[in-house]
Amino acid sequence: MLFYFLGILFAVSQENKDVYFCIKIDCMKNVAHDTSKDPRLIDIGNRIKSLRIEKGYSSAEIFAYEHELNRVSYWRMERGSNLTLSSLLRILDIHKLSLQEFFGKEQKK
């Protein structure tokens, strides 16, 4: 008998009551080559990257390490991956910027 529940396919043997399951795994798009991203996310990522560079960091990895950020998550933020508001606020706190300053037309120089 087969049944599907919460994204998991279960197979139950009628004879010995063994249960087998298979989790459906969706392939993720390669973030670096995903051209279908919302351009606003890419703009936010570019802004985050420019703030890091303005602070004198050529490496995103070193910036993330020195500010106790997950380096892979930070790298994804700079490339325009979807990010949480709390992650964005943490970046803004590091740069001592308000939301208005970050999203304003005039960028802090």
**pLDDT value for 64:** 94
Give the Cα-Cα-Cα angle 33, 39, 97 (nearest 5 degrees).
110
Residue (of 30, 39, 108) closest to 76 by Cα position: 30
d(CA 106, CA 42): 18
Residues 6+ apart with CB under 8 A from 89: 99
DSSP letter for 51, please.
H
Structural domains in the chain, CATH included, are: 36-103 (1.10.260.40)
Section 47-54 average pLDDT: 96
pLDDT (tens digit per residue) in 65-99? 999 999 999 999 999 988 899 999 999 999 999 99
d(CA 94, CA 87): 11
**pLDDT value for 25:** 42
**pLDDT value for 44:** 93
pLDDT (tens digit per residue) in 17-46? 554 444 444 433 444 445 467 888 999 999
